[in-house]
A and B are shown apart, each in its own frame.
Chain A
């Protein structure tokens, strides 16, 4: 009897706590929420608003005019194509290479920890302090061309032809593989070792084991790696900008170049329309991937 009484009392206390929670929660949240609204949420809504008016001063509703004009623009289409091309090539490449490296790093080897450090190190090195090396490597008179010529191959003007694409892909991979390797390694270490032993006993070969154990159990990790890699591929602008400046070769003129240039020329309509479209695309990609993930999880269960 006494015991029961106490428990009820405790329950009531917790209920009271829960109701008070909401007030406390908003107090805890307040500093962050105010700043977040001021510097992220409101600017975002303003941006969407500007993309539908004909000028931020007059504020006449312009419907989709800004978007129509944007889609007609040659340089916008160039920027979109390049950005898509870059992500479509570099993200799968990054996934394959980092998965391969992670599987090998997870195997039995010497210096394991040191090797992992080597792959992660590019991640922490500031882009700006390596730019000089990239320029030395890919200049017309640079090292890569020197190596090519010692093999008797024609030299390539890396930064001023379509080859610039490959340079940027290499730079992106160099910097971002480490991140995915770390994520994949964490995923690999969560797969119980005896799954492989059972498979081995039952006569499954290495490839079979990789396909039906490793890949299957890594899929949840994979979704996040894909999202993060796509987001990071949008950030490659930093490298591109530092290596090639405001007006790089046509093949590496990215969305962010376009947006920066629209900003410099004060074309707010096109810029906000481009930004809203970019946001829409990212949103679609993320929602699509999450839907895929949910379906995959249901399928697994």
Chain B
């Protein structure tokens, strides 16, 4: 009898949490299913969106109600996005060219710095680290003007470099990798030292292999953050042809016929990476919340 109650409870809880989970998934699922609608169907369903006055003039309350499933499944939207308008692919490529150098650069630079912060002794180490962490907490706008002036002085304005360089030196990577390295016992390093290994050798042959999960977590978290970037390109890149897709997608409302497919294509790399590396992602989030 007790067992029976337990199973009922378990089913009940699963149903409740499952329902809430469906609410969370709803916007994503709708975007996905609607990406298979034809442009006509989108116009019929959502044509009244954003046209408040006309709908009122006509005296009709025609709502643009979200439809879960399209009447006719078609891949026309994808054809339009991928083949007919080269702009999309170009901006997708812009996004890649911004995100990949930032991730690679930040991991390289911050792995070395994290080693110094976690395994070496020097004066003001902890104070300096606090300064690093403080910048992590600041919204982008706080250093906007001086950043702009700096980019101007270094001749980086209107070039992706204005976004890439600050991205490479952001403190987040240092913070994360330090968290991972703190878990490596100091005794290992001491033993290696006594065997006559130098710090560079210790770093490459011991530390790097041991923080691989940390690097994986960092890759996912950085990807999520920079793939999503909106403010920086708007400030630093005047030329809309250099914008990443994240900015362009927000303006795509003028072409609702392809918006859903473009959105799906844009989120696909992110979602796949997440599903593939979910454990690392979770681990990364957890470590970001543990004090070191």
Shortest beta-carbon distance from A243 to chain B in Å? 9
Decide: A121 and B66 in contact? CB cutoff 8 A.
no
Contact check: which of A50, A135, A238, A268 meets B50 at CB < 8 Å? A135
Judge whether A215 is part of the interface by a CB distance below 8 angstroms: no
Asked if B169 and A36 make an inter-chain contact with CB atoms under 8 angstroms apart, the answer reads yes
Residue of A nearest to B166 (CB): A39
Q: How large is the interface on A (under 10, 10 to 19, 20 to 34, 35 or more residues)?
A: 35 or more
Give 1 or 0 for each of A251-291: 1 = CB within 8 Å of chain B CB.
00001100110010000100110010011001100100000
Q: Does B199 contact A (CB under 8 A)?
A: yes
- Other-chain contact of B169, A38, A109, A126, A283 (Cβ < 8 Å): A38
Q: A32-B169, A132-B260 are in contact. Are A126 and B49 (CB under 8 A)?
A: no
> Is the C-beta of B145 less than 8 angstroms from some C-beta in chain A?
yes
Interface of B is mostly: helix
Chain B residues 87 to 140 lying within 8 A of chain A, measured CB to CB, are 109-110, 112-113, 115-117, 120-123, 125, 131-132, 134-135, 137-139
Binary flags per residue of B189-219, CB closer than 8 Å to A gives 1, else 0: 0100110000100010000000000000000
Q: Is A24 an interface residue (CB 8 A)?
A: yes
Interface-central residue, A43, A178, A235, A241, by most chain B CB under 10 Å:
A43
Determine the chain B residues whose CB is within 8 A of the CB of A131 once the complex forms: 249-250
Once the chains bind, are B28 and A125 in contact (CB under 8 Å)?
A: yes
Would you call B64 and A115 a contact (CB within 8 A)?
Answer: no
A24's partner among B9, B120, B220, B224 (CB-CB below 8 A) is B120
A171–B286 Cα distance when bound, in Å, is 23
CB distance from A175 to the nearest CB of B (A): 10
Docked-complex contact A128 and B266, CB < 8 angstroms: yes
Asked if A44 and B142 make an inter-chain contact with CB atoms under 8 angstroms apart, the answer reads: yes
Does any Cβ of B come within 8 Å of A104's Cβ?
Answer: yes
B40: CB under 8 A from chain A? no
User: Contact string, A122-141, partner B, CB cutoff 8 A, digits 1/0?
Assistant: 11111111111111110111
- Return the CB mask of A147-173 against B: 1 if under 8 Å, else 0: 001000001010000000000000000
In the complex the two chains form, is A32's CB within 8 Å of B113's CB?
Answer: yes
Contact B142 A126 (CB under 8 A): no
Q: Which A residues touch B168, using CB under 8 A?
A: 35
Which one of A40, A47, A149, A174 lies within 8 Å of B171 (CB-CB)? A40
Residues of chain A within 8 A (CB-CB) of B115 are: 28
B82 interface contact, C-beta 8 A: no
Contact A117 B10 (CB under 8 A): no
How far, in Å, is A159 (CB) from chain B's closest CB? Answer: 10
Q: Is the CB of B63 within 8 A of A110?
A: no
Q: Are the C-beta atoms of B110 and A32 separated by less than 8 Å?
A: yes
Cα–Cα distance between A269 and B134 once the two chains are bound (Å) = 23
Q: A40–B22 Cα gap in the complex (Å)?
A: 41
